[in-house]
Amino acid sequence: MNTSTAPSVLFVCVHNAGRSQMAAAFLTHLGGTRIQVRSAGSAPADTVNPAVVEALAEVGIDISAETPKVLTIEAVQASDVVITMGCGDACPYFPGKRYLDWQLEDPAGQGVAAVRPIRDKIERRVRGLLAEFGIETAA
């Protein structure tokens, strides 16, 4: 890996309203400027899931201004690692990219109590990813 540039990670789920937003928020929060973070959805929702916003606010992360973004080929090409979360075949594949698929329950339509365990699993996986990159967490 080129040490002069920060590694870049793209989180993808269908609606970019829950899991990928949480993962991107944790990676940004914990990795700071030492990592580039993107998130997108194959069929983005209009807004981020309010239960996801609330669950992250409980741990001091504010994503209330975030909006779901559409997945683009450019975003995949610009990323070193692409982490999918239930988007199946909707994610474009490019040789040479590292792909991971995180099997996580979809928080869509669930209350904050159901989102908390998903949030905590995502935080653990993000911390593990940062450790793989050799990046100490900022928080």
Q: What is the pTM of this model?
A: 0.92
Average pLDDT over residues 8-12: 96
Sheet of 81-84, strands arranged across: 36-41, 8-13, 81-84, 98-101
Average pLDDT over all residues of the chain: 91
Q: Is 13 a catalytic residue?
A: yes
Whether 137 is a known active-site residue: answer no
Q: Which of 10, 13, 52, 53 is catalytic?
A: 13
Strand spans (E) along 14-128: 36-41, 81-84, 98-101
- pLDDT over threshold 90, residue 27: yes
**pLDDT of 58-115, one tens digit each?**
999 999 999 999 999 899 999 999 999 976 666 667 788 899 999 999 999 999 999 9
pLDDT of residue 19: 96
Instruction: Confirm whether 66 is a catalytic residue.
Output: no
What confidence score (pLDDT) does residue 89 get?
Answer: 64
What's the confidence (pLDDT) of residue 5?
A: 82
